[in-house]
Chain A
Amino acid sequence: MTADLSPRAVAAVGVGQTPFGPTSEAPTYVVMLQQAASQALEEANLTIDEIDAVVLALAPESLMGVNHAERWCTDYIGGRMKPVLRIQTGGATGLSAVQAGYQHVASGLYERVLVVGADRVRESGDAQKIFNKIWDPFYERALPFTTITMIAMSAVRYMHNYGMTERQMARVSQKAHYNGALNPNAHIRREVTIDEVMESRYLSWPLKLLDACPQSAGGCAVVLSSADAIKPESQSPAWITGVSMAGETYYIGDRLETSERGYDYGDAEALAVAAERAYAMAGITDPRTQIDAVETYASFTPVEIHNAEALGLADLGTAAPLFEEGFFDLDGEIPLNPSGGVICTNPISVTAMVRFVEAVLQVQGRAGAHQVPGAKTVVATGAGGSHQFFNVAIVSSEQPK
Chain B
Amino acid sequence: MLKRTSYDAVVVGAGVVGAACAYYAAKAGLRVAVVDRGPVAGGTTGAGEGNLLVSDKEPGPELDLALLSTTLWRDLAAEFGDRVEYEPKGGLVVATAPAGLDALHGFAAGQLAAGVDAVAVAADDLRELEPHLADGLPGGVLYPQDAQVQPALAAAHLLRASGADRYLGEAVTALRRGPGGAITGVVTERRELAAPAVVNAAGTWGGAVAELAGVRLPVLPRRGFVLVTEPLPRIVRRKVYAADYVADVASGSADLQSSAVVEGTPAGPVLIGASRERVGFDRTLSPEVLHRLAAQAAALFPVLRTVAVQRAYRGFRPYLPDHLPAIGRDARVPGLYQACGHEGAGIGLAPATGLLIARQLVGEKPEFDLSPFRPERFDEEE
Same complex for A and B? Answer no
Chain A residues with CB under 8 Å of chain B are none
Which residue numbers of B lie inside 8 Å of A, CB to CB? none
